[in-house]
Structure 1
Amino acid sequence: MTDFERALKVGRTPNVAKLFPNSKALIVSGKFIDLAMLQKGNAICMAANGRNHFVLRGVLKAAQRANSALIIEIARSESTYCAVNFWNIARQVDAVCNELGITIPVAIHADHYGIKKDADIGPAKVEIPTMLDAGITSIAIDASHMPDDHNLLASIEIIRNAVPAWVGLETEVGEIKGKEGLSTAEEALFLIQGLNAHGIFPNWIALNNGTTHGIEVSGQGIQVELTAEIHAALEKYNVSGAQHGTSGNSSDRLREIARLTRTTKANVATALQMISWGLEVNDYGNAILTDDGEFIKVRGEGMTEEAWMEMVAYAADKGWSGGNYKKLNLPFENRLLGQPAEVRERMVSRVEEFACNMMINVFNSQDTADILTDAILKADTYDPGPKATRIEDPGEWTPEKIAARARSVCSDKGPEGDFDD
């Protein structure tokens, strides 16, 4: 039996093994992804938002070339405007892996599972298990829209009741709002200490560290020093960073995040969508706009020119522009899948080339597939266990004391608005 076959036998999570009993796809817990990046050092795993089928295929082919572990994810908000969603993403990934002979390990991440009010907690405890039934192996419980004490209490309630211990876990403090409402070490410590007291040890914490979701033409972008400062404050809790909103950040800045912080996961969403469509982008995948704010379609790349003109007309009719072009994913998935084979393949290949370059030359994640597979074989299980221990006193983190502590936390959540992916 080869190492890969042994890893398949013991490393696939129980939900995946049940759902795909005859599969040759190495779909693993997100916990192993984090550990592999830490073991390599200064390495970040691409968390590719699979907004369409072409992105899924392209990033899987790229990871195979780079011999890189990979996260494929979809956010809760994306499930409302993409054909890919929490309940079919694992099925698509599994099918493509088996079709193409993909052997690198992949985690399936439910990103930004948003909790915006206390009334969302009950439904979440019902819905999250159905997502796990559909093959999700990692999740971000994102209650950052709420005040700090509600964020912590909601996270505890949901994780305790709906998230098994083997699932990769991400938590979040501060919505991604660019330069507004920047996260602080005090806020991050409050959340991580409170979770720790209740025996919850996240793999990742996401911050508002100066970046944005979607298309970003200008702005400071990721504040590397702030990120490093917060990660240093959290060091004894052994939590890694999840970088959201890579759009608008140069490759050099992303390399700095890998080199100077404890970040092991970076979301790449809008860039991959635009690249698959055949739009003109800069070196880190941000779409280039004309002076009139229009996208530039590269002739002979991505979708056909006819399909692009249909999309532009549809968007104009709906009053969509800029970042709202993301809403075209759902109504046009079938149209794009219905193009000739050579067109579909060039859409996939464009994603593959971009993603492979980013994995090797920006995120430094090449050859982490072998590190992860070795870790599975050494652990001889699908769950490597927690990477932290409880060091906080649960008696100091009761609901009443959490509310009292929160009142002393200096926090600026920034302006109200729609800041979803």
Structure 2
Amino acid sequence: MAYPADFEKALQIGRPPTIGALFPHSKALIVSGKVIDRAMLAKGKAIALAANGRNYFVIRGVLMAAQRANAAVIIEIAKSEGGRSAYCAVNYWNMARIVDSLCNELGITVPVAIHADHYGIKNETDLAIAKVEIPSMFEAGITSIAIDASHLPDDQNLLSNLEITPFIPSWAGLETEVGEIKGKAGLSTVSEARFLIQGLNAHGIFPDWIALNNGTTHGIEASDAGIQVDLTSQIHAAIADYRVNGAQHGTSGNSSERLREIAQKTATTKANVATALQMISWGLEINDYGNAQLDTDGNFIKVAGEGMSEELWAEMVAYADAKGWKKGDYKGLNLPFENKLLAQPREIRDRMAKRVEEFAYRIMTEVFNARDTAPLAIQAIITANSHDLGAKGQRIEDPAAWTRELIIQRATCLCSDKGPTGNFDD
């Protein structure tokens, strides 16, 4: 296969050293998350699809959609999905290998970032583990990470970010988070977001993205209440001088129209899609909000002849029933059934991926405005002449005003409502 000259140049200089070491003969253009962010900025009012690859078919389908749309894309997995206590077979340590293999098999030439989403830090033990675990993840092919210490008080969130950032390669995409994703409870505020970004800035840390609790939730939505566009826009405007873009979490449960508003009215360049893609790959009926539909008895609706076989779906439902699982617990089916899904006939495997492709292609082209961002990502690499695009922002804040003691003192002046306690991991 003949490749364009710009692609070959980007392949030569644009892959991080860890990727080059893992896949020395590969034609997969696996890049830093910074590259994807810059491509969306170059197009303007564009958002990269960040697909949670809970199974092989989601990853395959999204890559096919990205190639078809000529769009730069992110494949990711969250700590709860793919960390050490994962409920998915895809994880932080094998995701890059799956993506690389599929890109070479399918002839994928669009740039792809491998993102470790929601790397949660909730206590000192998590922090200690992270210092060992995060380097291992980058050695395994991760090229971008979201440090999520939003479960902690604001001062501890900032201090945890400061403590863990030295273990992240400087070339990698970096996301930070303020406000746990809890729906309409515990909404993020301007003062909280500015506190986090200013404190990082003072220490020479310039995130590519900030994630907020802006009114949405993870998983299956019970209503169409969701993203508060005005709140998101207000927070993004308040941190504009620091050149940090938005990462939108929990898109399932939000209409296409609301997601278009996020693209048009905010500084968002990354949007996570997880539950919807899982359900689509399985062959369940969903609505425009990405929510799986229920029949009159409150059961998921399996579309005949789409997704997995009817026999395997019946087995999965029986497994969930035996465990007494609610509909939101069905994500736990990923790990025990991945090999059974892969063992189905080719025509069934192909239709699972194809169903994902069609949905992802529509989101990329009709909702996120990401069509033809792949060449912009490649151009960003060539212009930089490096895999490392550097930071968008520069230091504004005085480090002397953001010592540990002053951070703790400043945090006492923040007005915020963290909402209810509980486990809000995806």
Q: 1:17 aligns with which of 15, 20, 28?
A: 20
Contact kept? 1:140, 1:171, Cα under 8 Å = yes
Q: 2:390 aligns with which of 378, 381, 385?
A: 385
Q: Name the CA distance, whole Å, in 2 between partners of 1:35 and 1:104.
A: 14
Q: Name the CA distance, whole Å, in 2 between partners of 1:85 and 1:323.
A: 20
Contact kept? 2:224, 2:255, Cα under 8 Å = no
AA at the equivalent of 1:174:
G
**2:111 maps to 1:105:** yes
Aligned to 2:366: 361
- 1:193 Cα deviation (Å)? 0.2
- 1:120 Cα deviation (Å)? 1.6
Q: 2:91 aligns with which of 85, 96, 101?
A: 85
TM-score w.r.t. structure 1 length? Answer: 0.99
Aligned to 1:163: 168
- 1:118 Cα deviation (Å)? 2.3
TM-score w.r.t. structure 2 length? Answer: 0.98
Aligned to 2:356: 351
**2:304 maps to 1:299:** yes
Aligned to 1:238: 243
Q: Name the CA distance, whole Å, in 1 between partners of 2:128 and 2:342.
A: 37
Aligned to 1:287: 292
Contact kept? 1:4, 1:103, Cα under 8 Å = yes
Q: Name the CA distance, whole Å, in 2 between partners of 1:224 and 1:118.
A: 34
- 1:375 Cα deviation (Å)? 1.0
Q: Name the CA distance, whole Å, in 2 between partners of 1:405 and 1:174.
A: 17
- 1:292 Cα deviation (Å)? 3.2
Percentage of matched positions with identical amino acids:
70
- 1:119 Cα deviation (Å)? 2.6
**2:125 maps to 1:119:** yes
How does 1:309-348 map onto structure 2 within 5 Å? 309-348=314-353
- 1:221 Cα deviation (Å)? 0.3
AA at the equivalent of 2:386:
T
- 1:2 Cα deviation (Å)? 1.2
**2:273 maps to 1:272:** no
Q: Name the CA distance, whole Å, in 2 between partners of 1:261 and 1:295.
A: 34
Aligned to 2:34: 31
Residue-by-residue CA offset, 1:16-48 (whole Å, 9 max, x unaligned)? 011100000000000111111011001000000
Contact kept? 1:293, 1:322, Cα under 8 Å = no
Aligned to 2:24, what secondary structure does the other structure show? coil
Contact kept? 1:118, 1:150, Cα under 8 Å = no
Aligned to 2:31, what secondary structure does the other structure show? coil
- 1:122 Cα deviation (Å)? 1.5
Aligned to 1:207: 212
- 1:219 Cα deviation (Å)? 4.6
**2:194 maps to 1:184:** no
Q: Name the CA distance, whole Å, in 2 between partners of 1:222 and 1:291.
A: 28
Task: Structure 2: state its 5+ residue gaps.
Answer: none
* Farther-moved stretch of structure 1 (302-311 vs 281-290): 281-290
Q: Name the CA distance, whole Å, in 2 between partners of 1:283 and 1:249.
A: 8
Aligned to 2:257: 252
Instruction: State how many pairs are aligned.
Output: 420
Aligned to 1:65: 68
Q: Name the CA distance, whole Å, in 1 between partners of 2:219 and 2:327.
A: 9
Q: Name the CA distance, whole Å, in 1 between partners of 2:126 and 2:331.
A: 25
AA at the equivalent of 2:198:
Q
Contact kept? 2:224, 2:289, Cα under 8 Å = no
AA at the equivalent of 1:299:
A
Contact kept? 2:254, 2:289, Cα under 8 Å = yes
Aligned to 1:138: 144
**2:419 maps to 1:414:** yes
Query: Please, what is the CA RMSD of the aligned residues?
Result: 0.8
Task: Structure 1: state its 5+ residue gaps.
Answer: none
* Farther-moved stretch of structure 1 (125-134 vs 287-296): 287-296
Q: Name the CA distance, whole Å, in 2 between partners of 1:334 and 1:368.
A: 34
Aligned to 2:158: 152
Q: 1:370 aligns with which of 363, 370, 375?
A: 375
Runs of 4+ in 1 over 6 A off after TM superposition: none
- 1:121 Cα deviation (Å)? 1.2
Q: Name the CA distance, whole Å, in 2 between partners of 1:30 and 1:114.
A: 19
Q: Name the CA distance, whole Å, in 2 between partners of 1:10 and 1:122.
A: 34
Contact kept? 1:139, 1:169, Cα under 8 Å = yes
Aligned to 2:229: 224
AA at the equivalent of 2:24:
P
AA at the equivalent of 1:10:
I
**2:99 maps to 1:96:** no
Aligned to 1:248, what secondary structure does the other structure show? coil
Contact kept? 2:130, 2:164, Cα under 8 Å = yes
Residue-by-residue CA offset, 1:229-279 (whole Å, 9 max, x unaligned)? 000000000000000000110000000000000000000000000000000
